[in-house]
């Protein structure tokens, strides 16, 4: 199967130029101007941007959490991702206490196999560390699961103590893996949650008020310090607070390999959303929580100046009906997480590029190239170049769309950006050479996605 994408503007993290892209089989075969050849399919990209497929390195599909399971499985979640111009995800497998990492890997491979419509990799969440688990970390890195998420929050569920975190960091110094950190001080938060509930403070907004920005700043500082002592890089996930960003910035200014991502929810939503009437604030219960509106400018500056290297979604959807309502009388029982796998590229293009906060090249870098490089997928993914996988988005920078639960493809009954108009739409999407979104319609196949064995550092 050959496809020629003609007359578009090709955009990578570094370049922007008019050109045609020839796709042969699963790969990009040639880039040129005025390419004329017999092909199976021609896509006219006149007036459109031709972008590398989006890479979302933080998703939670079919994830048991908070007494329920995230609403999108690997079929619905990856189809929604494709609609939004994302062609690769890195999801999280979970080692529950008493289980091996291998068991977790097998469990999550089964969840994805036959369902994922786009390519996928896994990070491994470690909730218990011992000598055997450390050896398994090495084996996983060899298998292409080259990053591990550790939690400094959720005591009794996911949280690891500092000694275990330090041992895991040291291990990545030997095996070439990368530690991804959920940086919030879980002990402090637990005390604040119990105190709030004892005072009868049960509404969704107390989720945010019991998870102070300083608790994220403290944990971020500690995580970076532990990585510095261990002499290894660290990647902070879902960074939301200015206090945390300051810690990353300070570390990077000292030349440390500290990396961090933020997510659209922290760029476009704020604490004020928790004040929506009734139980509506539950839609935004996620950890870390939404921060004051002023933080948004700080995060955009961090993105522009490379103190933040990636924008991922932390897509972890729970329906208001039957799932979020578990916490009607107790905010601490509201399942933590929100949907976003489908809306990332349009939101960031509209709010970032069109508003002049980041350049078009930086948009590509933050949503595709940089996560590909950090997580061992580049140059197979994350760019438009001969030899790379033909994961390509034909993006209409002038088309407008209204974000809504009525039209989105995520299997969740609300959209955190309901009614928001964005300009910039992923119209046609190719995954390894196959058109999977054709002018807005899904024409791919659940199960066509492949597991990606990622490279180590
Ligand atoms: O609230 C969130 N972020 N839910 C997903 C789990 C996590 O910590 O990333
Ligand atoms: Zn987390
Ligand atoms: Zn997450």
Q: Which ligand has the minimum distance to the alpha carbon of residue 149?
A: 2
Residue of the nearest CA to atom 3 in ligand 1?
287
Q: Using CA positions, which residue lies closest to atom 8 of ligand 1? A: 287
79 CB near ligand 1 (under 6 Å) = no
H/E stretch holding 41: strand 41-44
| Sheet with 258-262, edge to edge strand ranges | 54-59, 86-94, 119-125, 147-151, 178-182, 234-236, 258-262, 310-311
Q: Supply 439's token pair.
A: 């002018």
**Ligand 1: distance of its center to the CA of 282 in Å?**
14
Closest atom, ligand 1, to C-alpha of 285 = 1
Which atom belonging to ligand 1 lies closest to the Cα atom of 286?
1
The DSSP output letter for 189 is: H
Residue 169, pLDDT score: 98
Residue 287 Cβ inside 6 Å of ligand 1? The answer reads yes
Mind listing the pLDDT tens digit for each residue in 149-162? 999 999 999 999 99
Where do we find the tokens 């001969």? Answer: 386
CB of 269 closer than 6 angstroms to any ligand 1 atom: no
211 lines ligand 1 (CB under 6 A): no
Spatial CA neighbour of 22 closest among 427, 320, 430: 430
Residue nearest to atom 4 of ligand 1 (CA): 337
Distance (Å, rounded) from C-alpha 282 to C-alpha 414?
11
The finding on whether 313 has its CB within 6 A of some atom of ligand 1 is no
The DSSP bridge partners found for residue 181 are 150, 236
Q: What is the pTM of this model?
A: 0.98
Beta bridge partners of 91: 59, 122
Q: Find out whether 427 and 399 touch, Cβ atoms under 8 Å.
A: yes
pLDDT digits (tens, 9 = 90+) for 112-167: 999 999 999 999 999 999 999 999 999 999 999 999 999 999 999 999 999 999 99
Does residue 90 contact residue 59 with C-beta atoms inside 8 Å? yes
Q: What is the mean pLDDT of the chain?
A: 98
- Cβ atoms of 75 and 89 closer than 8 Å: no
Q: Of the bound ligands, which one is closest to the alpha carbon of residue 284?
A: 1
Q: What is the distance in A from the centroid of ligand 3 to the CA of 392? A: 26
Task: State pLDDT tens for residues 412-422.
Answer: 999 999 999 99
Q: What are phi and psi of 342, to 5 degrees?
A: -90, -20
What is the SS3 assignment for 248-292?
Answer: HHHHHHCCCCEEEEECHHHHHCCHHHHHCCCCHHHHHCCCCCCCC
pLDDT digits (tens, 9 = 90+) for 28-42: 999 999 999 999 999
Report how far residue 72's alpha carbon sits from residue 116's, in angstroms, rounded to the nearest whole number: 11
Strands (E), 45-134: 49-52, 54-59, 64-65, 68-69, 86-94, 119-125
Residues 6+ apart with CB under 8 A from 450: 119, 120, 432
Q: What angle do CA 99, 315, 92 make, to 5 degrees?
A: 25
Helix (H, G, I), strand (E, B) or coil at 231: coil
Ligand 1 atom closest to 60 (CA): 5
Average pLDDT over residues 87-100: 98
Band (pLDDT 50/70/90 cuts) for residue 74 is: very high
Instruction: Give the percent of the chain with pLDDT over 90.
Output: 100
SS3 418: coil
What pLDDT does residue 94 have?
98
pLDDT band at 374 (very low <50, low <70, confident <90, very high): very high
In this predicted model, what pLDDT tens digit does every residue of 236-275 receive, in sequence order?
Answer: 999 999 999 999 999 999 999 999 999 999 999 999 999 9
Q: Please tell me if the CB atom of residue 133 comes closer than 6 angstroms to any atom of ligand 1.
A: no
Share of residues in the chain with pLDDT > 70 (%): 100
Per-residue model confidence (pLDDT) at position 217: 98
pLDDT tens digit sequence for 169-207: 999 999 999 999 999 999 999 999 999 999 999 999 999
Average the pLDDT over 390-407 and give the result: 98
Instruction: Enter the tokens of residue 367.
Output: 């949503």
Is the CB of 207 within 6 Å of ligand 1?
no
Tell me the pLDDT band of 108, cut-offs 50, 70 and 90: very high
User: How far does the centroid of ligand 1 lie from the alpha carbon of residue 429, in Å?
Assistant: 28
Q: How many residues does the chain have?
A: 457
Q: How far is the CA of 312 from the centre of ligand 3 (A)?
A: 9
DSSP state of 333: G
Beta-strand pair 68-69/64-65: antiparallel
Q: Best substitution site from 337, 340, 341, 416 to test ligand 1's pocket, by max atoms within 8 Å of Cβ?
A: 337
């Amino acid at each position: 199967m050959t496809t020629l994408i003609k007359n578009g503007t090709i955009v990578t993290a570094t370049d922007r130029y008019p050109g045609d892209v020839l796709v042969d089989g699963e790969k990009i075969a040639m880039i040129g101007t005025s390419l004329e050849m017999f092909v199976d399919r021609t896509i006219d990209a006149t007036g459109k941007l031709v972008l590398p497929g989006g890479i979302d390195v933080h998703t939670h599909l079919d994830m048991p959490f908070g007494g329920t399971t995230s609403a999108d499985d690997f079929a619905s979640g990856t189809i929604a991702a494709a609609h939004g111009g994302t062609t690769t995800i890195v999801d999280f497998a979970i080692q529950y206490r008493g289980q091996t990492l291998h068991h977790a890997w097998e469990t999550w491979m089964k969840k994805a196999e036959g369902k994922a419509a786009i390519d996928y990799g896994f990070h491994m969440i470690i909730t218990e560390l011992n000598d055997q688990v450390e050896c398994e970390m090495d084996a996983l890195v060899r298998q292409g699961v080259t990053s591990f998420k550790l939690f400094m929050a959720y005591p009794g569920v996911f949280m690891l103590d500092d000694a275990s975190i330090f041992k895991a960091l040291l291990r990545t110094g030997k095996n070439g893996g990368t530690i991804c950190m959920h940086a919030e001080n879980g002990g402090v938060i637990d005390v604040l949650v119990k105190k709030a509930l004892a005072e009868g403070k049960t509404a969704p907004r107390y989720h945010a008020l019991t998870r102070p920005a300083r608790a994220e700043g403290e944990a971020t500082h500690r995580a970076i310090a532990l990585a510095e002592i261990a002499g290894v890089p660290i990647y902070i996930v879902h960074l939301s607070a200015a206090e945390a960003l300051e810690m990353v910035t300070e570390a990077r200014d000292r030349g440390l390999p500290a990396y961090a991502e933020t997510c659209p929810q922290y760029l476009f939503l704020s604490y004020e959303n928790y004040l929506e009437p009734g139980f509506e604030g539950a839609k935004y219960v996620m950890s870390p929580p939404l921060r004051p509106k002023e933080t948004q400018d700080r995060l955009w500056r961090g993105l522009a100046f490379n103190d933040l290297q990636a924008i991922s979604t932390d897509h972890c959807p729970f329906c208001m009906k039957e799932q979020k309502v578990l916490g009607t009388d107790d905010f601490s029982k509201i399942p933590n997480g929100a949907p976003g796998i489908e809306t990332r590229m349009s939101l960031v293009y509209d709010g970032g590029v069109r508003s002049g906060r980041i350049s078009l090249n930086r948009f590509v870098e933050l949503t595709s190239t940089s996560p590909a490089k950090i997580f061992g997928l580049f140059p197979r993914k994350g760019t438009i170049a001969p030899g790379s996988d033909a994961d390509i988005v034909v993006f209409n920078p002038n088309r407008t769309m209204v974000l809504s639960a009525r039209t989105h493809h995520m299997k969740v009954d609300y959209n955190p950006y309901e009614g928001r108009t964005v300009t910039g739409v992923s119209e046609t999407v190719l995954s390894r050479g196959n058109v999977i979104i054709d002018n807005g319609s899904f024409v791919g196949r659940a199960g066509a996605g492949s597991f990606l064995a990622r490279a180590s550092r």
